[in-house]
Amino acid sequence: MEKAIITVVGKDKVGIIAKVCNYLAEHNINIMDISQTIVDGYFNMMMIVCLDNMAGGFDEVNDGLYELSKTIGVSIKFQHANIFEEMHRI
C-alpha cells in the first residue's frame, strides 16, 4: 500500500478540513487516519492517506494542494510516508 502524510498548519478558520478533504476526495485519495487540534487559535492537522487509487500523479496532487494552501491561507505539506518516516527516524 502506498501511503502519504499530509500536514496542515495555520490560523484557524471555518472550512479548512472540508476544503482539504474535498480536494482529496476529488483525487480519489482515501483518508486512513486523521488527527487535528487547535492550539491558541492555530489549526494543526495530520493525515495518513492511501495513494493506491489516486487520480493524477504525485506532483500534480502536490501542486494542487499548494494552490489550495494559498487559497485558504494555511501551510499544507504532502510527503510520501517512507520519506516522512526516514526524516523522523532519529
pLDDT of 87 above 80: no
Query: pLDDT tens, 35-65?
Result: 999 999 999 999 999 999 999 999 999 999 9
Give the mean pLDDT of 19-32: 98
Phi-psi region of 72 (alpha: psi -120 to 50; beta: other; left: phi over 0): alpha
How many residues are present in the chain? 90
> Coil, strand, or helix at residue 27?
coil
Residue 90 pLDDT level (bands cut at 50, 70, 90):
low
